[in-house]
Amino acid sequence: MSARTFTIGTRGSLLATRQTEIAIEALSVSDAGSAFDTRTISTAGDRSQQSLTEIGGRGVFVIEIERALLDGEIDLAVHSLKDLPSAETDGLMVAAVLPRDDPRDVLVSRDGLPLAALPSGAAIGTGSPRRAAQLRALRTDIEVRDIRGNVDTRIRKAEEGEYDAVVLAAAGLARLGWLERASQIFEPEEMLPAVGQGALALQVRSDDREALDLVRAVDDRETRVAVTAERGFERRLGGGCHAAIAAYATVGYGPSPERAPLRLRGLVGGKGRLLRGEMESPAGEADALGVRLAEYLIAQGAEALLEATA
């Protein structure tokens, strides 16, 4: 294996730093001969306090990091997969996804109350249209308010009373050792996760053979299959930060990896409606399954809902 020192680009938040540590731990086990440096890169999403829809969507958390990767300033990048647009950037590729952590969403409330016990009119913070649409379906009498900031900032805003509760990703809390602060963990039947939620993506230049070989060695096949289906679903719908799109895939046991059963659930929200669908296929047809489920929901009126949220 390579004895090269690889420079890893990452955002500067507490969670991003921890996620980079997780990636380095995995890479070091796979290739003990390589060394790793980290470079913190400030992104537009980190600098702005505007909502994601106002500043350009999920890509604002990755554009500067991808540019540094393309320019050769870093050798690989660690991303929360849910922050990456579903189409690959020219010249770059997600060479590995690490084993997925808990994909679910959680509620963190000031008084430790679950959603059902919050008072009528309670203010719940989220910057996600997906979460907002599903929260409103669960409780029509709450106030869903936009929120920005890192995980620790959002929790503090709830604890200090600016919000009655906030909704966050379980994986992020778990990586920081804070999962006990959750007042409720939403099952997928209550709140379907974001595409790729809980998975970490390792991105490299597509022409960097050493980095490709290093990173591919830690790719988790089951996670890769699941998120391929989810990203195919999102890509076909053309959704971004404005859209209430959710998808979650699970892989079962089969006679071979390619023929293992793959189950995909998808959701599109808008105009006060939620469209849901579910399909299965062999794992070897993951991307096609995502496209097929998206087209099923399009036939049910999904495009009109997406246009309403654009």
Q: Reduced to 3 states, what is the DSSP secondary structure of residue 229?
A: helix
Domain assignment present for 193: no
The residues, ordered by sequence, that sit 6+ positions from 240 with a Cβ below 8 Å of its Cβ are 57, 58, 85
- Does 135 lie in the same domain as 118? yes
Q: What is the domain-level CATH number for residue 33? A: 3.40.190.10
Residue 278 forms part of a structural domain: yes
Query: Do 171 and 205 have their domain in common?
Result: no
Long-range contacts of 43-46 (CB under 8 A, 24+ apart): 43/11, 46/11, 46/12, 46/13
pTM of the shown model: 0.92
Determine the pLDDT at residue 53: 52
Give pLDDT, residue 306. Answer: 86
Same domain, 138 and 172: yes
Residue 27 pLDDT: 96
Phi, psi at 18, each rounded to 5°: -65, -40
Are β-strands 5-10 and 76-80 bridged in parallel, bridged antiparallel, or unpaired? parallel
- pLDDT at position 55, please? 45
Residues 209 and 94 in one domain: yes
What pLDDT score does 217 carry? 96
pLDDT, tens digit, for every residue of 250-259?
Answer: 999 999 999 9
Quote the strand ranges of the chain, DSSP E: 5-10, 35-40, 76-80, 92-97, 105-109, 123-125, 143-145, 165-169, 184-186, 200-205, 244-251, 261-270, 273-282
- Kindly state whether residues 76 and 211 are assigned to the same domain: yes
Same domain, 9 and 92: yes
156, part of any domain: yes
Q: Does residue 174 lie within any of the structural domains?
A: yes
43 shares its domain with 74: yes
Per-residue pLDDT tens for 280-305? 999 999 999 999 999 999 999 998 88
pLDDT score, position 60 = 66
297 lies in some domain? yes
For residue 126, count other CB atoms closer than 10 A to its CB: 22
Q: Name the DSSP class of 300.
A: T
Of 186, 208, 236, which closes a domain?
A: 186
| Collapsed DSSP state (helix, strand, coil) of residue 113 | coil
Q: Which of 83, 101, 164, 208 is catalytic?
A: 83
End residue of a domain, out of 186, 209, 235: 186
Return the DSSP state at 209.
H
* 203 and 91 assigned to the same domain: yes
Same domain, 231 and 264: yes
Q: Is 83 a catalytic residue?
A: yes
Which residues in the chain show pLDDT less than 70? 1-2, 44-60, 239-242, 308-310
* Count of C-beta atoms within a 10 Å radius of residue 161: 9
237: in domain: yes
Check whether residue 23 and residue 166 sit in a common domain. no
CATH of the domain at 301: 3.30.160.40
Q: Verify that 65 and 142 share a domain, yes or no.
A: no
Q: Does one domain contain both 296 and 252?
A: yes
Among 277, 307, 309, smallest CA distance to 291 is for: 277
Residue 240 confidence (pLDDT): 56
- Burial (CB count <10 Å: 0-12, 13-18, 19+), residue 252: exposed
Residue 191 within any structural domain of the chain:
no
Which residues span the domain enclosing 131? Answer: 105-186
Residues 65/66/69/74 CA torsion (nearest 10 deg): 10
Joined tokens for residue 252: 């079962």
pLDDT given for residue 239 in this prediction? 66
Q: How many domains does the chain have?
A: 3
Residue 194 lies in a domain: no
